[in-house]
């Protein structure tokens, strides 16, 4: 049985990756390593927690001694690294956690894998999950390609860019068998409601104001989270060593158009008068250094590895709304306590 260590498996994307690997690869032992920060929620994995091939290990990637212990205990052949501080706004108010987890934590993991594998690279793989934000901000035209120069502009994206460089450095310097992917904005079930789509769903449900930064003209390229998980599966198994793959939805929306569509879907689902949720839209102070537009070219992934997304946004968005409406307990649990305090801090001055 092959052992695969997945970091950040209790988070949004990580939980979909863990579920996919546990269910699709019974011959793999999946070790989910997660510190359970505010964003880690084991409720996301209730359906697989008793599977024979699943193990949870609470560990912080900023702790190298603990990582050494975990690597020696399970001796993984593969690492899929998703653990990170992931919210841009939090990186603006508190960058240090991003430096610690995203940069130092990634180096700790690279070192733990390098020390365990000790030059025996055959059958080994370190897969680093990154973001399109490392490429910076696009104007109205153009796309991000794998060879687009890095130009990160927030502490979050700078920390992810730094970790990408370090992963490549371990490949070139030590020969560590690595692969990297850079993905656009994900949406779907289990998305923490500090991010735009789940935040808006939650606020519409409660008839509360929906905060839109600036004029709502910023553009993101949205991909359903299970399609990111399927891309991660493909890259992990078929991606070339040392290679980078861009993953995107080819699905650009301005924030304001997206929120208007969401309002329309929710009015219909909640039996509210057409146009009533749109009235909740409130324009607030813009995010500092707010990147205008992200858009990914995923031709390499599609043509070389045969990946295709399974859902259009018109299918995925209503499906996501249904999930939140059917999982009120999940939403209530994550929106209680510490998250509420954070929400006040984040929006008080806007």
Give contact residues for ligand NAD (rule: CB under 6 A).
Answer: 8, 10-14, 34-37, 39-40, 60-62, 82-86, 101, 105, 129, 131, 160, 183, 185-186, 192
The answer to whether residue 132 is catalytic is: yes
Binding mask 267-306 for ligand DAU (x = CB under 6 A): --------------------x------x------------
User: In whole angstroms, how far apart are CA 37 and each of 5, 31, 185, 200, 334?
Assistant: 18, 18, 21, 23, 12
Q: Residue with the closest Cβ to ligand DAU?
A: 131
Question: From the CA atom positions of the chain, what is the Rg in Å?
Answer: 20
Alpha-carbon distance 255 to 189, whole Å? 19
Among 181, 255, 277, 320, the residue binding ligand DAU under the rule CB under 6 A is 255
SS3 helix, strand, coil % of the chain, rounded to 5?
45, 20, 35
User: In whole angstroms, how far apart are CA 298 and each of 17, 43, 108, 201, 308?
Assistant: 19, 32, 30, 28, 9
Among 109, 143, 176, 212, the residue binding ligand DAU under the rule CB under 6 A is 212
The answer to whether residue 252 is catalytic is: no
How many of the chain's residues bind ligand DAU (CB under 6 A)?
19
Closest distance of CB 185 from ligand NAD, Å: 5
Out of ligand NAD, ligand DAU, none, what residue 3 binds, judged by CB under 5 to 8 A for its kind, is none
Q: Does 196 bind ligand DAU (CB under 6 A)?
A: yes
The answer to whether residue 133 is catalytic is: yes
Nearer to ligand NAD, 8 or 309 (CB): 8
Q: Which of 34, 60, 85, 133 is catalytic?
A: 133
Q: Does 185 bind ligand DAU (CB under 6 A)?
A: yes
Write the CB contacts of 10 (distance below 8 Å, at least 6 apart in sequence). 32, 34, 36, 40, 41, 42, 44, 45, 56
Write the CB contacts of 129 (distance below 8 Å, at least 6 apart in sequence). 13, 80, 81, 82, 181, 183, 232
Out of ligand NAD, ligand DAU, none, what residue 62 binds, judged by CB under 5 to 8 A for its kind, is ligand NAD
Alpha-carbon distance 95 to 56, whole Å? 28
Q: Which of 60, 132, 164, 194 is catalytic?
A: 132
Nearer to ligand NAD, 30 or 277 (CB): 30
User: In whole angstroms, how far apart are CA 228 and each of 82, 87, 184, 247?
Assistant: 12, 18, 9, 7
For ligand DAU, the binding residues (CB under 6 A) are: 86-88, 131-133, 184-185, 195-196, 199, 211-213, 218, 220, 255, 287, 294
């Amino acid at each position: 049985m092959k052992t695969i260590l997945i970091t950040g498996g209790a988070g949004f994307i990580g939980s979909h990756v863990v579920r996919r690997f546990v269910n699709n690869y019974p011959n793999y032992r999946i070790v989910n390593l997660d510190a359970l920060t505010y964003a880690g929620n084991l409720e996301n994995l209730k359906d697989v927690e008793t599977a024979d091939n699943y193990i949870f290990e609470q560990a912080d990637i900023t702790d190298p001694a603990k990582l050494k212990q975990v690597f020696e205990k399970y001796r993984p052949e593969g690492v899929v690294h998703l653990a990170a501080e992931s919210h841009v706004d939090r990186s603006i108010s508190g960058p240090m956690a991003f430096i610690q987890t995203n940069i130092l934590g990634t180096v700790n993991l690279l070192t733990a894998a390098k020390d365990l594998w000790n030059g025996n690279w055959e059958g080994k793989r370190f897969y680093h999950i990154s973001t399109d934000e490392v490429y910076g901000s696009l104007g109205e035209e153009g796309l991000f390609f794998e060879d687009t120069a890095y130009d990160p502009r927030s502490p979050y994206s700078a920390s992810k860019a730094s970790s990408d460089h370090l992963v490549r450095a371990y490949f070139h310097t030590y020969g560590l068998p690595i692969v990297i992917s850079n993905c656009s904005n994900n949406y779907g079930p289990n998305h923490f409601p500090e991010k735009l789509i789940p935040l808006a769903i939650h606020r519409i449900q409660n008839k509360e104001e929906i905060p839109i930064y600036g004029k709502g003209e910023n553009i993101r390229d949205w991909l359903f989270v299970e399609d990111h998980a399927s891309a991660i599966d493909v890259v992990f198994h078929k991606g070339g060593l040392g290679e980078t793959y861009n993953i995107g939805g080819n699905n650009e929306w301005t924030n304001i158009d997206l929120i208007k569509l969401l309002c329309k879907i929710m009015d219909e689902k909640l039996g509210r008068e057409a146009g009533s949720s749109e009235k909740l839209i409130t324009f607030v102070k813009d995010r500092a250094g707010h990147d205008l537009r992200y858009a990914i070219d995923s031709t390499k992934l599609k043509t070389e590895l045969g990946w295709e997304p399974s859902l259009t946004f018109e299918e995925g968005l209503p499906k996501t709304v249904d999930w939140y409406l059917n999982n009120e307990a999940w939403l209530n649990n994550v929106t209680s306590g510490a998250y509420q305090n954070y929400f006040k801090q984040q929006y008080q001055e806007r």
